[in-house]
Amino acid sequence: MTTRSPSLLPRSASAPGLLVLAGAGLFLAAVDAYVVVAALLRMLTSVGIPVLPAANLERGTTIVTGFLLGYLAVMPLAGGLSDRFGRLRTFGACLVLFAIGSLLTATAGSLGQLVAGRVLQGAGGGGLVPVVLALAADLYGGARRTTALGGVSGLQELGSVLGPIWGGVLAAISAQGWRWIFALNLFFAAGLLAALWPGIRQRPARLPQAPLDLVGALLAAAALALLVVALYAGDPQRSPVGSGFWWQAPLAILLIVLFVIRERRARAPLIDVRHFRDSGFTGAALTNALAGAGLMVALVFIPVLAQSSVFSLDPRQASFLLFRLLLGIPIGALAGGVIAGRLRSNRGVAAIGMLIAAFAFALLAGWNQDALRGHLLGTPLRVADLELFSAGFGLGLEIAPVSAALLDLVSDAERGAAAAFLVIARMVGMLLGFSAVAGFGLYQFDRVTARLTPPLFSLRPDYAVRLAQYELQLRQAILDQYHTIFTIAAALVLAGALIAAASLRPPRVRA
């Protein structure tokens, strides 16, 4: 069944065409979110910051946190704007903001300009996410909504997988090759704007008359910005949270409380906070947050373990190992949308996806020094590859049914804000999950390794034996830390599966 939201779409909108073009914009923004992973060192040296001493690399974290700040902080505003002024118009505005940020980044001659460009890119790219999800929900209803959401989510996750590869290829061309990463965004953005211009310039059939709750949007943006700064660990080996966590986190919580109070009293709230009383709404948000927590643990600690003395892989090999997990996410996202749509079961597909991921995380928690050696039935495919792929596939499988379950519960006039909240829940889950799990894991590691003392070099015959014993104990301490972290992550994802099974509802049929 296809349903159009008459208040937010142009009169002549073509559902498949709009969804493909909007999905392409989401893909572009997702590529850009992860593209600096392989190009960060080149970017720093190009603006006069040498790689050595190693302390200089900490200055590069502002490029990452700047993008995250813009990405999360603008989401509530972008979602609300799309509810008030139309999806395509807001989409176009976010794409222009993304292009301006790309231009600033591509021409940056200083770290300040780099950070400013990435903040604007994050703001534009982050704003696109709730707008496109809400657009998909406007264009399609019932079971087809889940399929549509699976399609755009799959495109977004595919962009996340290809981003580091794309960045690495262009950065490897030359010392200034990284600039083409962002310069090419201008051409892609211009092409999308040209293709969507007839719909952007055409006024939607009917727009809600209620004004945008700007105060509420600003409170939400400030709270999320503070939360990002508080929870982002620039140096996770020293602390799992930011240096100003102890004052930034309480202030962020205070702003969230003020936001809730504001929304309860506002004549036209950004989102009706009474939705949180609905177990389906809250359950979808919690499921997404727990999936985000598990994903973030995997993104950080699989490469860390791979490059440790346990496996001693180089950064390129560690990236390819993580690629197995990342590849499963877009495939799972697309499959989840199709399967949930055909079975008309958001609850079952989301719960099964989280169960698959939880089981895979439990298998990952059992890795030892031989984990990368076992092959599957004599094929080149390793058992570890299948475990990683299964974790990503399970996390991807839940995305579309969870999104559809939440967006089914809100009206057309607040669907953009609800989509923003859903994505924010996943991102906050990633930040909170990483901080909590990493903090506990680092505590355990420090407690164990505090008793380990490397032997002093000597010519005595037993020196080699004592050194081997020390290295064995150190590797075991690393594995114990890893086992603890992934066991906790498996428990978190399993909790998400139980919440999804208990709370999500089937697709709503609309006339």
Contacts 24+ apart (CB under 8 A), 208-215: 208/7, 208/83, 208/84, 208/413, 210/84, 210/267, 210/268, 210/413, 211/84, 211/268, 212/80, 212/81, 212/84, 212/268, 212/270, 213/80, 213/262, 213/263, 213/266, 213/268, 213/269, 213/270, 215/262, 215/266
CATH code at position 17: 1.20.1250.20
Question: Based on the domain organization, do 13 and 115 belong to the same domain?
Answer: yes
Type and span of the H or E element at 10? none
Q: How far is CA 494 from CA 158, 322, 429, in A?
A: 25, 21, 15
Structurally, the chain folds into a number of domains equal to 2
Domain of residue 328 covers 271-511
d(CA 79, CA 270): 9
Residue 434 resides in a domain: yes
Instruction: Evaluate whether residue 451 is within a structural domain.
Output: yes
208 shares its domain with 276: no
Over residues 161-216, the pLDDT tens digits come to 888 888 777 777 777 788 888 999 999 999 999 999 988 887 766 666 667 788 88
Q: Are residues 378 and 462 in the same domain?
A: yes
Residue 10, pLDDT > 90, answer no
pLDDT at res. 447? 64
Report yes or no on 344 lying in a domain.
yes
**230 within 8 A of 249, measured Cβ to Cβ:** yes
- Residue matched to tokens 């999308």: 192
The band of 83, judged by pLDDT with boundaries at 50, 70 and 90, is confident
**Claim to verify: residue 192 and residue 317 sit in the same structural domain:** no
Q: How far is CA 359 from CA 225, 336, 395, 497, in A?
A: 34, 18, 11, 11
For residues 200 and 286, state if they share a domain: no
Q: To the nearest 10°, the Cα dihedral for 41, 47, 53, 56?
A: -80
Using the 3D structure, point to which of 186, 212, 238 is the last residue of a domain. Answer: 212
The region of weakest confidence among 29-43, 241-255, 383-397 is: 29-43
101 and 25 assigned to the same domain: yes
Radius of gyration over every alpha carbon of the chain, rounded to an integer in angstroms: 23
Which alpha helices (DSSP H) does 174-244 contain, by range?
Answer: 178-201, 214-231
Do 346 and 205 share a structural domain?
no
Determine the 3-state secondary structure of 282 from DSSP: helix
Q: Do residues 334 and 482 share a domain? A: yes
Claim to verify: residue 82 and residue 12 sit in the same structural domain: yes
Whether 444 maps to a domain, the answer reads yes
Q: Is residue 222 part of a domain?
A: no
Is residue 233 in a domain?
no
Predicted TM-score (pTM) of the model is 0.86
Domain finish residue from 212, 231, 246: 212
Quick one: tokens of 227?
């939360």
- Structure letter (DSSP) for residue 211: P
Q: What is the pLDDT of residue 142?
A: 82
In 35-110, alpha helices (H): 40-46, 61-73, 75-85, 87-106
Is the residue at 24 inside a domain? yes
Residues 171, 286: one domain? no
Taking CA atoms, 6 is separated from 12, 92, 270, in Å, by 11, 19, 20
Gap between the Cα atoms of 28 and 191, Å rounded: 12
Amino acid (1-letter code) at residue 166: W
DSSP annotation of 274 reads G
- Looking at the structure, tell me whether residues 66 and 146 fall in a common domain: yes
The answer to whether residue 36 sits within a structural domain is yes
Task: Verify that 170 and 285 share a domain, yes or no.
Answer: no
6 has a pLDDT exceeding 90: no
Whose structure tokens read 């355990």? 444
For residue 9, give the 3-state DSSP assignment.
Answer: coil
What three-state secondary structure class fits 382? Answer: strand
Q: Mapping DSSP to helix (H, G, I), strand (E, B) and coil, where does residue 82 land?
A: helix
CA gap 52, 360 in Å, rounded = 39
Bigger pLDDT: 125 or 60? 125
pLDDT in tens, 254-286: 999 999 999 888 888 888 888 988 999 999 999
Residue ending a domain, choose from 179, 212, 245: 212
